Amino acid sequence: MTTGKLAPLVLAFGGIALLAQPPSDAARKLQLEYTIAHYTKYDYRIPMRDGVKLFTSVYVPKDSAQPYPIMLERTPYSVGPYGIDNYPPLLGPSELFTKEGFIFAYQDVRGRYLSEGTFVDVPAHKLHFDGPKDTDDSTDTYDTIEWLTKNVANNNGKAGIWGISYPGFYAAFSLIDSHPALKAVSPQAPMGDVGNGDDSYHNGAFYLAANFGFYSSFKPRAGDPARPPVHSLPFEFGTADAYDFYLRMGPLSNSNEKYLKNSNPFWTDNLKHAAYDEFWQRRALAPHMKNVKPAVMFVGGWFDAEDLAGPLKLFRAIEKNGAIAPETLVMGPWPHGGWSRGPGDKLGNLDFASKTGEFYRESIELPFFMEHLKGKGNGLKAKADSVAPKALVFETGTKQWRRFDTWPPKNATALELYFDATGKLAMTAPAAAGFDEYPSDPDRPVPVIGEIGVGMPRDYMTFDQRFASKRPDVLVYQTEPLDHDVTIAGPVTPKLLVSTTGTDSDFVVKLIDVYPNDYPDPNPNPTGVHMGGYQQLVRGEPFRGKFRNSSEKPEPFTPGKRARIEFTMPDVCHTFRAGHRIMVQVQSSWFPLTDRNPQQFLDIPTAKASEFQKATERVYRGDAEGSGVRVLVLNQ
């Protein structure tokens, strides 16, 4: 949830340089000159139905020969630059929109910066309103569009909304009881379910590094509406080693005492709600994706460290509940927000063999809004008489875009990958049963990366996992080299049969593409990493074991007693090429990406350091009850 309007936000360990490197000073100067020459800026305080006024900057084309649709972004990160004569270099999702010509409106959401009212972090949709003046963000969006269409000159009566991350959440919110003028919405990396799958918790495990870094700076406004401070000091970690910092922090209960001093209720709320309780359930948007009227294009990145699950979950909700206009899922080989600028041809050590970011902006994003707001072009259709695809996704491995009329693809079939003896990953059920075990020590957790660095790198999902496969507290299962390509398209479902000597434990499952030992390095090799034998993380997710039967009501393990854990990881579209191996790793910590489990049945945010203990974990394999991973494949 940490993407700003256009510029990257950097929050040391927890924050991410979310977007690609900005353009050069010379390029920004030319962009700014163009924007000032072609647009006039107006600042408004738009009244909502309860009388609260929301600050909104509007940029109107100086060419009035034709009417223009309105492009709106609502954000908690400020609509700056403030001041009637201060312009950003670009307007809209990309430079293409600036030059095409739209009316652009940016709004500080309720209680942020120059907008009146009280801000609620991840606000909930109200199922019942107490009279005509009661509000939530769906009514604020409705009232904003109503005012803009009636008061901004030369608009064509149509509006579109877009946004990345937190602004993407507000874009998705606009789909609830939407204004009739709202014709096209693109929630990009939206937080669809913050309490389970997006920023805060994944299957009960708290995403520690990202949230601590974010909430050390993202705080409630003190006092009346005001511009952002000219200078604000980031949190001082005092080291470049996030693993060391968070380990020395100790248990989560130390975070306020040592560092934040109970100064941020948003952080404290996260710690108060370690289960998927009513607090989180009310903040989930998926249940409200009903009777959606605008055309919708959900956008996400296969390597999004923050909100990978959001676009997938919201897309499925609309598919289940029905929509009046077309809805499409777009997934590319990007980190959080990485599609919005930069070529998109590389990420970390991976090369995608094409400029996927430029292709998205030119051939997907702009055509979507052009069709629905200006009535021009074919939009996402392949040709004039065709229909838009349900899914337009980049297939990693083969490095190509694919179009599907359903997602997951209707011809995908289930394939079980079974854990077998001696570290084998089998495609047929093993005849013999057994188990593998490993130690889990909270004082020496498995790191998320194999080097000194941040706690959640923006591209950690591309990282080489060879460092983890060599640890004694990580189980490794892999196939023989494949004799044909295997394409996985859809969700990944771990099915574990486990036991622990503790009363609670985490289980992290990672799906990995193992490159052949003779895989060639790029020439030149800019990173110095040898790709022969590279273990590329394709998908990984944690699961907090006490939530195995209910995400709301945790249950302890009985030490030594076997228990079943089955959960769904976010989708992939990846081809394991012939000669590669499919690998699965299982471990019980992923630090400091996720918080440490004391391995006792406790309220973890209030646990004391003395309550953390070692445990021995067993994963049972073989026969019909054994452990493995289910995937959907397009070819077998």
Give the chain's residues under pLDDT 50: 2-20
Give yes or no for a contact between 539 and 632, defined as CB atoms under 8 angstroms apart: no
147: its two tokens:
């005012």
pLDDT at 322: 78
User: How many residues in the chain?
Assistant: 636
| β-pair partners for 600 | none
Handedness of CA 413, 414, 417, 418 (dihedral sign): negative
Q: How far apart are CA 89 and CA 77, in angstroms?
A: 17
In the chain, DSSP finds a helix count (H) and a strand count (E) of 13, 26
What lies within 8 Å, CB to CB, of 415 at 6+ separation is 427, 486, 630, 631, 632, 633, 636
Q: Is residue 443 classed as helix, strand or coil in its secondary structure? A: coil
pLDDT given at position 523 = 85
* Residue 148: closest CA among 42, 237, 77, 221: 42
The two tokens of residue 312 are 């997938």
CB 199 within 8 A of CB 284: no
Choose among 553, 568, 550: nearest CA to 494: 568
Task: Extract the tokens encoding 320.
Answer: 């289940």
In terms of DSSP bridges, do strands 182-188 and 295-301 run parallel, antiparallel, or are they unpaired?
parallel
Where are the alpha helices (H) located in 322-426, listed in sequence order? 356-360, 366-369
| Domain 413-633 indexed as CATH 2.40.50.90 | no
| For the chain, domain boundaries | 413-633
What is the b/e burial string over 582-612, where b = at least 16 CB atoms within 10 angstroms of the residue's CB? bbbbbbbbbbbbbbbbbbbebebbebeeeeb
pLDDT computed for residue 232 by the predictor: 78
Half-sphere exposure of 381 (CA within 13 A, CB side): 13
**Amino acid identity, residue 245?**
F
HSE of 324, CA atoms in CB hemisphere, 13 A? 13
Measured distance CA(454)–CA(446) in Å, rounded: 14
What's this model's pTM, rounded to 2 decimal places?
0.95
Paired residues of 591 in beta bridges: 447
Token duo for residue 295: 């055309």
d(CA 303, CA 572): 10
d(CA 150, CA 130): 27
Q: Six-digit token pair at 203?
A: 């299957």
CA 4 vs CA 80, 167, 263, 362, 408: distances in Å: 10, 8, 23, 22, 31
